[in-house]
């Protein structure tokens, strides 16, 4: 008669054991999701800031050949559209998740200006997510803001914590800004008004600052 070894390990797991393991994994995943989401958001914000810094470099190049002045326009799209040729792409003006792109350009710009004949319009509505302060030059006060994440619609200088609306990409917590000296930053916003303030001064509404919002896509 074959005697069963009491120390012999049984094969596989019981249903209860599997449920316990799955529950533990689910708890760990739930606990780590906010931290992972924050890491991804910071990475995307830093990428956006670097793109904005590159846009500043293109502005300086533009000014060197245009009487020392940055481009002008009624909207940020109109002014910044002059830089597309120098940057050889519309991609630097794209910010993943920004509602300024609308649904048409939610996954990126079409670069139609580059590939069509005749060339399409540079930075048409939805292809740019940055606000821009017109009327400035490389000689402007170094610490004045020049480029920033697009504000809320009709509310230049303000953001929102509603991620479904334009100006809510960073949940009203931070923004991307590049100053006239070319330095980029991702500063915290005032939690009461969703504006960027330093020493009780609204950074985006100082003398000499004239920000224009981007043009929203469909």
Mean pLDDT on 120-137: 94
Cα 127 versus chain centre, distance: 13
- pLDDT given for residue 27 in this prediction: 80
- pLDDT given for residue 181 in this prediction: 97
- pLDDT given for residue 116 in this prediction: 67
Residue 63 and residue 137 in contact, taking contact as beta carbons nearer than 8 Å: yes
Mean pLDDT on 95-116: 89
Task: List the structure tokens of 91.
Answer: 């991609």
Q: pTM of the full predicted structure?
A: 0.83
Sequence-distant (≥ 6) Cβ neighbours of residue 207 within 8 angstroms: none
* First-to-final CA distance of the chain: 80
Q: Is the pLDDT of residue 121 over 90?
A: no
Residue 188 and residue 158 in contact, taking contact as beta carbons nearer than 8 Å: no
Q: Is the pLDDT of residue 102 over 90?
A: yes
The confidence band for 142, taking pLDDT boundaries of 50, 70 and 90, is: very high
Neighbours of 59 (CB within 10 A): 27
Lowest pLDDT segment from 32-41, 61-70, 165-174:
32-41
**pLDDT tens-digit map of 156-207:** 999 999 999 999 999 999 999 999 999 999 999 998 899 999 988 999 999 9
Mean pLDDT on 60-74: 95
Arithmetic mean of pLDDT over the chain: 90
């Amino acid at each position: 008669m074959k005697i069963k070894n009491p120390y012999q390990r049984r094969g596989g797991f019981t249903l209860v054991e599997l449920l316990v393991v799955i529950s533990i994994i689910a708890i760990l995943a739930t606990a780590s999701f906010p931290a992972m989401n924050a890491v991804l958001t910071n990475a995307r914000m830093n990428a956006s800031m670097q793109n904005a810094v590159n846009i500043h470099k293109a502005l300086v190049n533009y000014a060197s050949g245009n009487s020392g002045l940055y481009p002008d326009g009624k909207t940020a799209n109109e002014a910044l559209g002059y830089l597309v040729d120098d940057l050889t792409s519309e991609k630097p003006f794209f910010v993943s998740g920004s509602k300024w792109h609308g649904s048409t350009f939610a996954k990126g710009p079409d670069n139609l200006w580059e590939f069509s004949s005749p060339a399409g319009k540079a930075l048409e509505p939805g292809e740019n997510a940055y606000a821009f302060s017109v009327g400035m030059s490389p000689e402007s006060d170094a610490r004045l803001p020049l480029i920033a994440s697009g504000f809320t619609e009709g509310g230049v200088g303000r953001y929102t914590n509603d991620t479904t609306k334009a100006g809510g990409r960073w949940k009203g917590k931070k923004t991307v800004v590049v100053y006239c000296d070319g330095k980029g930053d991702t500063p915290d916003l005032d939690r009461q008004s969703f504006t960027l303030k330093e020493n009780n001064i609204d950074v985006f509404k100082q003398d000499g600052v004239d920000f224009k919002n981007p043009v929203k896509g469909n």
